[in-house]
Amino acid sequence: MVDEDRVVIRRDASVPVGAQESVVQESIRRRPSGAEVARRVVVFAFGIVQVLILLRIVLLIVGANDDSALVSAIYDISGVFVAPFADVLGTETLRNGGSVLDVAGLVALVGWTLLELIIVAGISIARREP
């Protein structure tokens, strides 16, 4: 929300300058529209999902310890968002020693990002801002 105070001086064009001036103080309060608020919420929610998936991909690449509670929690939470995209390419992971490239995670990241773009585009149709 933007609060803006401004002073407006109104002059009558038919009267000489300085003779008939009126000073009006206006206070303007600008708020985002409902569509803008919805867009912000959608972007924030999808941002959290994308960060979780990125953390999952990075942790798998570096071979993070599965016994760690934090790593395990990230795998469990992000697994919910990766699961719908698990069988898209027919392979879920590529392994090289201790590192794992989570192909399903990459596909999920692209999928969730595309879904976010579609929803944000739909919301932008309802926006009233110029």
**pLDDT (tens digit, 9 = 90+) per residue, 10-31?**
555 665 655 555 556 666 777 8
Asked if pLDDT for residue 47 goes beyond 60, the answer is yes
Residue 54 falls inside a structural domain: yes
In the chain, the percentage of residues whose pLDDT exceeds 70 is 71
Residue 23 falls inside a structural domain: no
Cα torsion through 48, 52, 54, 58, rounded to 10: 150
Residue 20 falls inside a structural domain: no
pTM of the model: 0.71
Residue 17 falls inside a structural domain: no
- CB burial readout 1-32, b (16+ within 10 A) else e: eeeeeeeeeeeeeeeeeeeeeeeeeeeeeeee
Q: Which domain holds residue 94?
A: 34-126
Residue 68 falls inside a structural domain: yes
Q: What digits encode the pLDDT tens for the residues 59-98?
A: 988 888 888 899 999 999 999 999 888 877 776 666 777 6
Q: What is the mean pLDDT of residues 34-39?
A: 87
At position 99, the amino acid (one-letter code) is S
Residue 29 falls inside a structural domain: no
Q: For the chain, what is the domain count?
A: 1
Question: Residue 130's pLDDT is what?
Answer: 58
Cα torsion through 1, 114, 61, 66, rounded to 10: 70
Distance CA 2, CA 74 (A): 37
Q: What digits encode the pLDDT tens for the residues 87-128?
A: 777 766 667 776 788 888 999 999 999 999 999 999 988 776
Residue 16 falls inside a structural domain: no
